[in-house]
Amino acid sequence: MTLKHPGGSGAGVWFFQRVTGVALVLLLGLHFVLQHFMSGGDVTRMGVLARLSSPWWLWFDVVFAALALYHGLNGVWMVTEDYLHRNWQRVAVWSLLVTAGVGLFALAVITLLPLTQVA
């Protein structure tokens, strides 16, 4: 048995990698324009806490973190997949990446949620 992306050929995963890349560029641009240029320079702790009290910005940050984690970890998987030829190595790296992704996403969420209650 060889470890492959769900769906067989990997074309869907390849396409989603490109979609998340474009989405991340757009979200990062939106973040910079709204937070650094249109916020009136309020990039202080209290300004960030006030921003995070909005459910819209909370979801923006959670989606941004999810897309960034998927894009980054999937990119690492795509690179290592070319160099790993033994199935046990693929399973080990895949397991490590999935565990890291879930753990880092959980860390992002549990970091952001309490901040919404501070402001």
In angstroms, rounded to a whole number, what is the distance separating the alpha carbons of residues 54 and 58?
Answer: 6
In a domain, residue 4? The reply is: no
Place of tokens 């952001």: 112
Average pLDDT over residues 60-88: 92
How high is the pLDDT of residue 11? 81
Average pLDDT over residues 58-83: 93
- What confidence tens digit (pLDDT) does each residue in 8-57 have? 667 888 899 999 999 999 999 998 888 777 766 667 778 778 888 888 88
In a domain, residue 31? The reply is: yes
Domain of 40: which CATH number? 1.20.1300
- What confidence tens digit (pLDDT) does each residue in 92-116 have? 999 999 999 999 999 999 988 887 7
Nearest of 72, 74, 70, 67 to residue 31 by alpha carbon: 67
Task: Indicate the number of domains in the chain.
Answer: 1
Q: What is the CA radius of gyration of the chain?
A: 18
H or E segment and range at residue 83: helix 55-83
